[in-house]
């Protein structure tokens, strides 16, 4: 039997150790006006269980998708779109911090594209959100398939 909650001693902080069985998975996706779907996936590197990094241990703390990961993905996407003569002029993306880095803005504008940021808290305007929820359903039901 598994307890759903417990008690800590008086004056002592409750200490909970959360065990992650699988590294997290980041999926970046693009949908074009011609229904071209481009996906990129990346497994997060597992770090030590101690969140405080010790000097010289060589392990970095866990990180999600960073700005450099996104710019690599965007370079791949725009190069792929231009190679197939699917020329667009606007890149519509949501307002996440990794999308608003200077490197992303510079690279996109250098290649003749204009960025349009969606308003915050508006997943209903982002067509990739619906697709992402379907992907999450598949991944959660059968994680081995990813």
E strands along the chain, which residues?
25-31, 37-43, 90-93, 114-117
Q: Longest Cα pair distance anywhere in the chain, in angstroms?
A: 68
- Domain 25-47+65-140: CATH superfamily, name plus number: Ribonuclease H-like superfamily/Ribonuclease H (3.30.420.10)
pLDDT tens sequence across 121-140: 887 888 888 887 887 788 77
**How does the average pLDDT of the chain come out, rounded?**
77
Question: Domain residues of the chain, as ranges?
Answer: 25-47+65-140
Indicate whether 70 pLDDT > 60. yes
Range of 2-16, 30-44, 49-63, 100-114 with top mean pLDDT: 100-114
Average pLDDT estimate for 69-93: 83
Burial degree of 133 (CB within 10 A; 0-12, 13-18, 19+): exposed
What is the DSSP secondary-structure string of 68-101? HHHHHHHHHHHHHHHHTT---SEEEE---GGGG-
d(CA 69, CA 123): 22
Average pLDDT over every residue of 65-71: 84
């Amino acid at each position: 039997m598994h307890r759903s909650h417990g008690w800590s001693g008086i004056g002592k902080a409750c200490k909970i150790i959360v065990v992650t069985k699988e590294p997290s998975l980041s999926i970046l996706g693009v949908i074009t006006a011609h229904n071209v779907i481009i996906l990129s996936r990346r497994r997060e590197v597992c770090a030590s269980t101690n969140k405080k990094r010790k000097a010289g241990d060589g392990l970095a703390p866990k990180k999600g998708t960073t700005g450099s990961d996104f710019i690599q993905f965007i370079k791949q996407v725009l190069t792929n779109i231009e190679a197939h003569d699917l020329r667009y002029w606007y890149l519509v993306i949501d307002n996440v911090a990794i999308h608003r880095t200077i490197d992303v803005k510079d690279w996109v504008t250098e290649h003749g594209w204009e960025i349009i940021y969606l308003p915050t808290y508006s997943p209903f305007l982002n067509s990739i959100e619906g697709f992402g929820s379907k992907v999450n359903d598949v991944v959660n039901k059968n994680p081995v398939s990813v």
